[in-house]
Amino acid sequence: MRVRAIAFSSSANLGAGYDVLSMSHRAFNDVVYAELLDSGEGKIFIETDSSVPTDPSKNSASVPVEAIMEDYKIKGIIKLKIVKGIPPGLGLGSSGASAVAAVAAVSRLLDLNLSLEDIVKYAVLGEKAVSGSPHPDNVAASAFGGVVAVTSHDPFRIVRVAVNYDFKIMLIIPRLATGVGKTKRARELVPPKVELNKVVENARYLSSLMVGLIKGDRNLIQEGMNDSIVEKAREPLYPYYPKIREISLKYNSVGVCVSGAGPSVLVLYDEETELEKIKLGATDVCRGFGFDCDFVTTEIGGGVKVE
């Protein structure tokens, strides 16, 4: 028997929601096939045509599967075939989606009936293996779909945020080779302590964004998608972002923020947004920094699917 699972890309943080908020999108997806082998070496065998590591201790899809095999005392060998559709290292939840798809596929393969929270619990182990930290926001969005908030870590509790405003999504993706360890480096820039006035400012943003999404209030979403702490601390990694932000707001985007740890930028837009002007402006900004960027327009995505 071979099981196929598919998980969407995601943009974490959404401004001030560092490690808490995330949104899945239909822009890209990863597909993982899981199968039990009769013979072979080791516990997990990885096949992939992408550049992700095939060493099971370094791959975000296999590390959680290894933990499942330990917990459920699974004998035998699991083959994971990973078809990467989500480009890695661009802040689009690539490692998280592979992890979620692998866990969901193996859950079905072994009849474990894992809940979505359990899928998140295992999938974060994959995030830890590749970025050094078990942040749950990307995996929560890829598992549950839509906009999610992680409300508890131990045990994991995730709520889907009701989105009552009809926006679309544009990802601005710089053609930058960010390389392995990008998220780890980005996390090292986040200050361990921050001043209270910054915390208050961010609480204001987060509240505005939540209320704006739930009430369908465009102004609140626009005001709320902002961050005075993490985006600011990481600005050396994406010096082009403040200008792109300014242009996106000038041409009336519904909201703009860095996608996860960057370097991509998430823009929400509607019919009031002058999208082409944002594209032209962002292209100029990126070229000024010596690289081109791609634009992908898409919509909010659903949760992980298993077939």
Looking at the Cβ atoms of 261 and 266, the one nearer to ligand HSE is 261
Q: Is 76 annotated for ligand binding? A: no
Beta pairing, strands 168-174 & 293-298: antiparallel
Q: What is the CA radius of gyration of the chain?
A: 19
Q: Please, are residues 221 and 17 in contact by the beta-carbon 8 Å criterion?
A: no
**CA–CA gap between residue 262 and residue 151 (Å, rounded):** 23
Interacting residues of 245 by C-beta distance below 8 A, sequence separation 6+: 256, 265
Q: Which of 35, 178, 183, 231 is catalytic?
A: 183
State whether residue 295 is helix, strand or coil. strand
Question: Smaller CB distance to ligand HSE: residue 19 or 30?
Answer: 19
Asked if 127 is an active-site residue, the reply is: yes
Please, what is the minimum distance in Å from the beta carbon of residue 5 to ligand HSE? 20
The residue with its CB nearest to ligand HSE is 260
Is 266 annotated to bind ligand?
A: no
DSSP 189: T
Least Å distance, CB 64 to ligand HSE, is: 16
Nearer to ligand HSE, 19 or 35 (CB): 19
Tell me if 88 is assigned to a ligand binding site: yes
Binding interface with ligand HSE (CB under 6 A)? 12-13, 18-19, 91, 135, 137-138, 183, 186-187, 260-261
Amino acid at 15: G
Min dist. Cβ of residue 97 to ligand HSE (A): 11
> Catalytic: which of 66, 127, 231, 273?
127
Q: How many CB atoms sit inside 10 A of residue 181's CB? A: 13
Report the C-alpha gap between 226 and 16 in whole angstroms: 6
Q: State yes or no: 92 annotated in a binding site.
A: yes
CA nearest neighbour of 33 among 69, 65, 75: 65
**At its nearest, how many Å lie between ligand HSE and the CB of residue 35?**
29
Nearer to ligand HSE, 66 or 137 (CB): 137
What is the full DSSP assignment across 209-232?
Answer: HHHHHHHT-HHHHHHHS--SSHHH
237 annotated as belonging to a binding site for a ligand = no
Binding site annotation covers 95? yes
Active site residue 231: no
Nearest CB to ligand HSE, comparing residues 35 and 137: 137
For residue 120, give every residue at least 6 positions away whose Cβ sits within 8 Å of its Cβ, in sequence order, or none: 100, 136, 139, 140, 143, 156, 158
We find the least distance from the C-beta atom of residue 168 to ligand HSE, in angstroms, to be 22
Binding residues for ATP: 87-97
Binding residues: 87-97
Active site residues: 127, 183
